[in-house]
Structure 1
Amino acid sequence: MSRDAQTLISDDDVERFQRDGVVVLRQIFTQDWLDRLAQGIERNLRLPGPMAIHYTGEDSPGRFFGDYCNWRRIPQYRYFVTRSPAAEMAARLMGSERAQFFHEHVLVKEPGTAEPTPWHHDLPYYCVDGDDTVSFWTPMDPVPEQVCPKFVAGSHRWGKLFYPRMFKDGENYDYKGAGYEPVPDIEGNPGDYDILSWSLEPGDAVAFNYKTLHSAPPNPGPGRRRGFAHRWLGDDVRFCERPGKSSPPFPEMGVDLKPGDRMEGEWFPVIWPPQLEEEGAAE
């Protein structure tokens, strides 16, 4: 572990992440990285990928845009994924020897956007299973606490899987089979949960486990809310099948793995430690 990662991610940060499933990290990305990501996001908005979604209705104000799995075609994203300190910081938070990239997810709420992001956790959407996971939500803009994503502390340790939900209408995915529960009514019973949220500045990030429940408010104010989420896999993560279409739909994108396999191939490079990067697709 380099001195930079140990400086940027303290022992207290690691403890909070492991305990709460979420931690705010202050000024871990320099302006150069933010400028590069902002350029990539504008390119992404101009040239959406095949899985881009506009969540706002035709008659709704603002714009809620989402897109993912574009890091291989957008140079600014690729450079950030492969060259920034994110992978090393991910490994430190997860307590993993290695950090593989999973995918990026861009979520932009323009001023006046009325749509919230419903309460959910990410793991049931994904074709992976394991405890060693982390997403960094990295804002390009100042984010007042009232429009910052919200997280239920400790929910990654509940031992439950909740139905994935559609961002457009909050409806559950049509997953067949046992093992999934409806997301509890967190918004209606906030006193029952330890809900964490923060005011953020560009350079900050919120790191959270794939099992941590979270949501995001509308963006009614005058400022943009451009978020670049980058998602990482640690030592114990393996491929799994879900009882419906996963998101991202990697099996439909040519990823041919069996349950229990380590995530392999060009989509999932090992970025940390650097000497394993070239071996990632061959292990």
Structure 2
Amino acid sequence: MSAGRGRGLSAEDRDAFQQDGVVCLRNVLTSGEIEKLRAGVAQQMERLGRSKTGYDFEAFGKQVWDPVRPVETGTANRFDMQAMKEIIQADPAACPLLEEDASDSEGLFFYDVAAWKTDPGVRMVAFDSALPGIAAELLDARYLNFWEDTTFVKAPHTRQKTAFHQDLAYFQIEGEQCVIVWIPLDAADDGTGVMQYIRGSHRWGETFAPNAFVSRTSFPSSPHPKCPDIEGNLAAYDIVSFQVKPGDVIIHHVMTVHGAGGNRSDLWRRAMSFRYCGDDVRYFDRPGALKQAGGAAGLRDGDRLFSKDYPVVWPKPWPGFRLSPVYDARQIGWDLERARYT
């Protein structure tokens, strides 16, 4: 499927998204836009161990399954990882989700968020690339808010899988018009740990509790049921994945169940995801959802996402308008190091 820069989506693209809950689009981002995202990811990774929001889930997975090994996350404090370890260890059904790999490499499953708030290049791609228009067309949205970005990097020979999950219950929102754009910054396939999606799962009519990625164990603070055991019953599900290269994107509905394998290859698998919300989405401080880094200032349940934290990125006020150069986070008052709004 293809949706080149400046072209509208095809009927096939729209049908795939509606029926499957996921669509792969080719050649959407330019090489310059990919380089901006790579630079943003490099800066995040350089701060691993010193930032408040960056984690290595490969290391955390090893800490979880070792009963005497302490949880060590450097200065990162967005999550209570010690409490998460105790929750997983108390789950009798919990087990490691690891790829078979003969390598003795330590691996790295890097996670971070909110690069757009400090990195102008990431903000430019999130606000002013072809992505907002594509997301709005898929959602048939009158307007579009940018919700957040997340970085996922799996180094060569990273055994840790990403547990199958559904995104909605991680977010403080309610509504149907939300998509996640998965952006590969390296060529990716099943060997490197590309995303895997359950076709049609966005139409199951069920919201599933979040999990900690390294285990199927759900957050006990969530009122929603646990995601089905897909890892243990792969043949029972219609799973699709896509071989992608930089410039391609994979877009899935917020209700689509998905996961990923480890990286069994000698290559890096860097990726960033953007989340966009349409006009039917409202703020909802959902029990068990992840608190955002510096987000949701002043919003109450039922409010539209009209906030400096969730800028309207589509439609543009006139053709050719670029939002990112005039959106100065320094004047908005974010204190990302404290992971809160000041």
Same fold, judged at TM 0.5 (above): yes
> How many pairs are equivalent?
273
SS in 2 for 1:275: coil
Match of 2:251 among 199, 207, 221: 207
Match of 1:50 among 37, 52, 67: 52
Partner of 2:25: 25
Displacement of 1:171 in angstroms is 2.0
Partner of 1:127: 172
Partner of 2:227: 183
Displacement of 1:254 in angstroms is 5.5
Displacement of 1:169 in angstroms is 3.4
- 1:69-128 CA-to-partner distances (Å, cap 9, x unmatched) read 121111211121222111111101111121110000000001111100001010001100
Partner of 2:300: 258
**Aligned-CA RMSD value:** 2.2
Return closer, same or farther for 1:114/1:176 CA change in 2, 3 Å cut-off.
closer
Unaligned runs of 5+ in 2: 63-104, 327-331, 333-342
Aligned-partner Cα distance in 2 for 1:4–1:55 = 34
Say whether the 8 Å CA contact 1:44–1:74 is kept in structure 2. Answer: no
Q: Is 2:205 aligned against 1:159?
A: yes
Match of 1:220 among 254, 264, 268: 264
SS in 2 for 1:14: helix
Letter in 2 for 1:57: A
Match of 1:79 among 119, 124, 128: 124
Say whether the 8 Å CA contact 2:210–2:222 is kept in structure 1. Answer: no
Displacement of 1:217 in angstroms is 0.3
Letter in 2 for 1:191: A
Say whether the 8 Å CA contact 2:190–2:261 is kept in structure 1. Answer: no
Say whether the 8 Å CA contact 2:4–2:28 is kept in structure 1. Answer: no
Letter in 2 for 1:130: G
Partner of 1:41: 41
Displacement of 1:11 in angstroms is 2.1
Aligned-partner Cα distance in 1 for 2:222–2:275 = 26
Bigger drift between 110-119 and 70-79 goes to 70-79
Q: Which has the higher contact order (CA 8 A, sep 6+)?
A: 1
Partner of 1:65: 110
Aligned-partner Cα distance in 2 for 1:42–1:94 = 31
Identity of aligned pairs, percent? 31
Return closer, same or farther for 1:223/1:233 CA change in 2, 3 Å cut-off.
same
Partner of 1:15: 15
